[in-house]
Each structure stands twice: as structure tokens, then as C-alpha cells.
């Protein structure tokens, strides 16, 4: 048996740990594993791949990024917005199938988020034997309770808040931390609660400046002359739109960024308090995976190989909260898992007096 693994979409901590787990579990069964280089394009002739033998796996458990490279643009682009799917041309899918056959690949493990798994689903519908592994720091895939990369991103954002806390306090400033989270505010709410933020702005709850400024004024009254604000990049003013940092590229989602600066400037104008902004950006996507992510990646990789062995294609490995199971890819890509505004995550924050901006 010969299997391949491909990483697609934005990178995140833990991709290499999944590659390692898949290759190790495959080798254990006496199979050959190869890694496709540069995302799905590497499957097209002239194919680009690496043999994933034991030597190739040294140090991968803790290494950030993906040794295979990844792409979230180009011919293989199946998502252009929230719920907006693009059908890949049949000719491209056919060329992919032929490319795989030329390499003797009998199954493909597709590691990625909503976009990559949508591509995997279309490949499955075209008769290509695929299984999926859910990755995204945003933690917004519907069919799994958690995606790998999320815990590492939250750890990074929480560490940033801890650091901003002491400098904000020393200078009596408002500090705004912009974190990732396009449609879902999981990183913002987890890191905000873990890092003691005073205001948390998430895409699911449109915000008003009056509410944010009232929270800052309330803190001043209590003698707290500094405030920590966490804003997910997808947070929006009530009645407003996403803040983007570039025009929407063809066949791709718009590049978000800048909400922190917009919110920070308005807070300074309205309160007169010195306000500084930090955009955490891709720091959240780099570096070693946390302990939790290493375990999750290893479980996911081993389960993906188990699915292949059972001939269960068109499925994605998924965490149920207690164990690692699998679900049809279609279920995984149909909808996003956002932060329910009436959930315990939000009510815990509110119970502590954290302002959600509404």
C-alpha cells in the first residue's frame, strides 16, 4: 500500500506532528508514505513529493509549519467566502486523479481547514480515495469539537495578553490586541478569558463603541486606569462590515486585518486615553505545537491511517469531546462552528464583568 499526505490552506502548529503520525502509523503497517510538496498542485504532473521514511520524520513532532509547504491560493481554491463554495473544474480533478495514479498513490490524507476539506470532498465525489484531518487555529469546523492548532494559537495569544497586561498597567494605557478569527471568535474568547481581558470583541457579537467606552469608564471609576481589549480580526461594528487589509483576491477570501487599529483610534478619540494596538498576526500560526496539540495531532494522524486501512474514504477524523472518531467530509464542510452568543463561554465572560461590546 502506498499513501500520500498533503497539507493545504494556512499553516499552523502541529501540521508536522500529523505528517509524522500518519507516516509512522503507515510504516508500522508496512505501507509506504510520501508527502506531496506545495499543496494539491504537487499532485499534478510533474509531481512534487518527498518520501516520508523514518529518517525524514526526525524532529517533526515539535517543529512548526509544514515540511511539505502549503498553499491557500492557485487552481485548488474551493472557498471564496463564508458558505461560498467554488466547484473545481472536472478536468482539474481528473488530472489530479491521473497524477496520483502515476505515483501509485492508493489513498490521500488531506490536512486542512474548511477550504482544504471542501477540496477533499470534491475529490471524493470524483472517485479519489481521500480522508481528512481537521486543522485550523480558528477552531471553526462544525463536525469536530476541536481542531489542531487552536490550542497553540490560544497559548500564543494568552502569552501576549500577559505581557501587554503589565505594560498597560505601568503606563495607564488602553491596549488593544488583534488576534486571528475570521468568522469565529474562539481564539479571542479563550485567550481573553485566560489572559484577563476587560473587553472581548468577537465576530458573533457586533459591538458598539458606547459599550466599550462605558466599560473603560467603569474601570476608571474603580481605580483601574488601564484596559485590555482583545479583538478578533473578524469583529464588526454593529451594522458595519469586516475590516480588510487588501482588496479581495480572485477565488479567495478577503484578507482581513486592521480592526484593532480602527477600534483603538476610536477609543482614544472618545475617551482621551492613550491607546496602543498590537496585531498578533502570524505569530499565532508559528512555532511548536503545545502539549495538547501534539497529542491531538498524533491521535488524528493514527486515526486517519486506521480509516484508510478500513477503506473508509470520504471521511474526516473528528474529536467528539471524549474520543477520536470520524464523520463524513460533507458534514465537516457544510457549516462553520462559531461561538454561540448564549453559550457558557460568553456567559462566563459576562459573569466576570467582561464587556463583549454589545
Cell of 204: 458573533
Contact flag: residue 82 with ligand F6P (CB under 6 A): no
Q: Which of residues 46-75 bind ligand F6P (CB under 6 A)?
A: 72
181 binds ligand F6P (CB under 6 A): yes
Interface region with ligand F6P, contact rule CB under 6 A, candidates 49-57, 58-66, 180-188, 315-323? 180-188
Closer to ligand F6P by Cβ: residue 254 or 292: 254
Asked if 182 touches ligand F6P (CB under 6 A), the answer is yes
Residues 322-341 within binding reach of ligand F6P (CB under 6 A): none
Residue 333 neighbours by CB under 8 Å, 6+ apart: 114, 117, 118, 121
Query: Cα–Cα distance between 130 and 128 in angstroms, integer?
Result: 6
- Residues 9-38 touching ligand F6P, rule: CB under 6 A, are 10
Binding mask 183-212 for ligand F6P (x = CB under 6 A): ------------------------------
Which residue, 139 or 298, is less far from ligand F6P as judged by CB? 139
Residue 248 contacts by C-beta under 8 Å, 6 or more apart in sequence?
254, 255
Per DSSP (E only), the strands in the chain are: 2-7, 32-36, 49-51, 79-81, 84-85, 107-112, 130-134, 174-179, 199-201, 227-232, 275-279, 315-319, 324-328
Residue keyed to cell 474562539: 186
Nearest residue to ligand F6P, by Cβ distance, number only: 180
Q: Which three cell numbers stand for residue 64?
A: 512548526
Q: Are 173 and 275 in contact (CB under 8 A)?
A: yes
Of 198 and 253, the one with the shorter C-beta distance to ligand F6P is: 253
Of 180, 201, 278, 318, the residue at the interface with ligand F6P (CB under 6 A) is 180
**Grid cell at residue 19:** 505528517
Measured from the CB atom, the residue of 72 and 338 that comes closer to ligand F6P is 72
* Residue carrying the nine cell digits 499526505: 5
Cα–Cα distance for residue pair 176/184, rounded to 1 Å: 18
Q: Is the peptide bond before 156 cis (omega within 30 degrees of 0)?
A: no
Q: Does 255 bind ligand F6P (CB under 6 A)?
A: yes
Q: Which of residues 123-152 bind ligand F6P (CB under 6 A)?
A: 136-138
Task: Mark out the alpha helices in 60-148 (DSSP H runs).
Answer: 90-103, 114-125
Q: Per CB under 6 A, which of residues 209..248 are in contact with ligand F6P?
A: 233
**Smallest separation, CB 102 to ligand F6P (Å):** 30
Q: Which of 35, 113, 129, 203 binds ligand F6P (CB under 6 A)?
A: 113
Nearer to ligand F6P, 198 or 233 (CB): 233
Q: Which of residues 173 and 236 has its CB atom nearest to ligand F6P in the complex?
A: 236
Its sign, for the CA torsion 82, 245, 75, 307, is negative
- How many residues of this chain interact with ligand F6P, rule: CB under 6 A? 12
How does strand 84-85 pair with strand 79-81? antiparallel
What are the cell numbers at 82?
463564508
**Is residue 260 a contact residue for ligand F6P (CB under 6 A)?**
no
Which residues are tagged catalytic?
A: 138
C-alpha cell at 151: 490550542
- Interacting residue ranges for ligand F6P, rule: CB under 6 A: 10, 72, 113, 136-138, 180-182, 233, 255-256
Amino acid at each position: 500500500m502506498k499513501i500520500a499526505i498533503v497539507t493545504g490552506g494556512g499553516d499552523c502548529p502541529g501540521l508536522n506532528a500529523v505528517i509524522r503520525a500518519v507516516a509512522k502509523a503507515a510504516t508500522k503497517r508496512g505501507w509506504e508514505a510520501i508527502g506531496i510538496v506545495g499543496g494539491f498542485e504537487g499532485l499534478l504532473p510533474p509531481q512534487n513529493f518527498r518520501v516520508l521514511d523514518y529518517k525524514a520524520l526526525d524532529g517533526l513532532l515539535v517543529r512548526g509549519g509544514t515540511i511539505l509547504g502549503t498553499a491557500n491560493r492557485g487552481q485548488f481554491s474551493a472557498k471564496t467566502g463564508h458558505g461560498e463554495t467554488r466547484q473545481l473544474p472536472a478536468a482539474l480533478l481528473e488530472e489530479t486523479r491521473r497524477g496520483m495514479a502515476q505515483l501509485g498513490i492508493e489513498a490521500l490524507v488531506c490536512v486542512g481547514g474548511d477550504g482544504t476539506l471542501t477540496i477533499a470532498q470534491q475529490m471524493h465525489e470524483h472517485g479519489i480515495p481521500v480522508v481528512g484531518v481537521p486543522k485550523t487555529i480558528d477552531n471553526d469546523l462544525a463536525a469536530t469539537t476541536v481542531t489542531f492548532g487552536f490550542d497553540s494559537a490560544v497559548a500564543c495569544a494568552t502569552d501576549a495578553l500577559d505581557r501587554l497586561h503589565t505594560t498597560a498597567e505601568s503606563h495607564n494605557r488602553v491596549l488593544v490586541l488583534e488576534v486571528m478569527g475570521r468568522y469565529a471568535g474562539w481564539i479571542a474568547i479563550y485567550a481573553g478569558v485566560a489572559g484577563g481581558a476587560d473587553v472581548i470583541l468577537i465576530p458573533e457579537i457586533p459591538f458598539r463603541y458606547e459599550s466599550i467606552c462605558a466599560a473603560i469608564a467603569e474601570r476608571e471609576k474603580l481605580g483601574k486606569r488601564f484596559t485590555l481589549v482583545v479583538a478578533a480580526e473578524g469583529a464588526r461594528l454593529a451594522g458595519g462590515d469586516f475590516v480588510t487589509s487588501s482588496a479581495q483576491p480572485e477565488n479567495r477570501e478577503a484578507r482581513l486585518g486592521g480592526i484593532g487599529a480602527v477600534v483603538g483610534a476610536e477609543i482614544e478619540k472618545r475617551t482621551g486615553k492613550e491607546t496602543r494596538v498590537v496585531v498578533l498576526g502570524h505569530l499565532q500560526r508559528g512555532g511548536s505545537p503545545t502539549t495538547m496539540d501534539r497529542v491531538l495531532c498524533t491521535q488524528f494522524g493514527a486515526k486517519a491511517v486506521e480509516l484508510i486501512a478500513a477503506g473508509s474514504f470520504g471521511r474526516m477524523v473528528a474529536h467528539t469531546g471524549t474520543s477520536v472518531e470520524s464523520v463524513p467530509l460533507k458534514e465537516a464542510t457544510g457549516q462553520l462552528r462559531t461561538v454561540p452568543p448564549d453559550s457558557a463561554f460568553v456567559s462566563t465572560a459576562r459573569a466576570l464583568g467582561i464587556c463583549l461590546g454589545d
